[in-house]
Amino acid sequence: MRLCDFQTGIGRLQRETKRLKDSWRETKVHWDDGAAKKFEEKFLEPLIPNIKLALAAVHELAEVVDDAERECGDKNPNAEHF
């Protein structure tokens, strides 16, 4: 039994990030003025790199937790997980 499921959250964040990019691309077809450019620069451009950093950190954390689960499971295979 797995104690933590990071993959579901990772997948959801990746899908929603793609959805955001696609939606913005469609929006820019109809909203192409100074306000749109400011919105993109202020909110969207900084968001994508931060999401990528967060995903990388969660991937790394998932690996650490997986390793810990394997190590704990190897020491006491009859232990119950909470």
- Indicate the pTM of the whole model: 0.73
Task: Give the separation between CA 44 and CA 37, rounded to whole angstroms.
Answer: 10
Residue 25 pLDDT level (bands cut at 50, 70, 90): very high
Domains of the chain by residue range:
6-72
Give the DSSP H/E element, type plus range, for residue 62.
Answer: helix 45-75
> Dihedral angle at the C-alpha atoms of 14, 20, 21, 27, nearest 10 degrees?
170
Residue 81 has pLDDT above 90, yes or no: no
Task: List, for residues 30-63, the tens digit of each pLDDT value.
Answer: 999 999 999 999 999 999 999 999 999 999 999 9
> In the Cβ-directed half-sphere of 78, how many Cα atoms lie within 13 Å?
0
Q: Average pLDDT for residues 4-27, to the nearest whole number?
A: 94
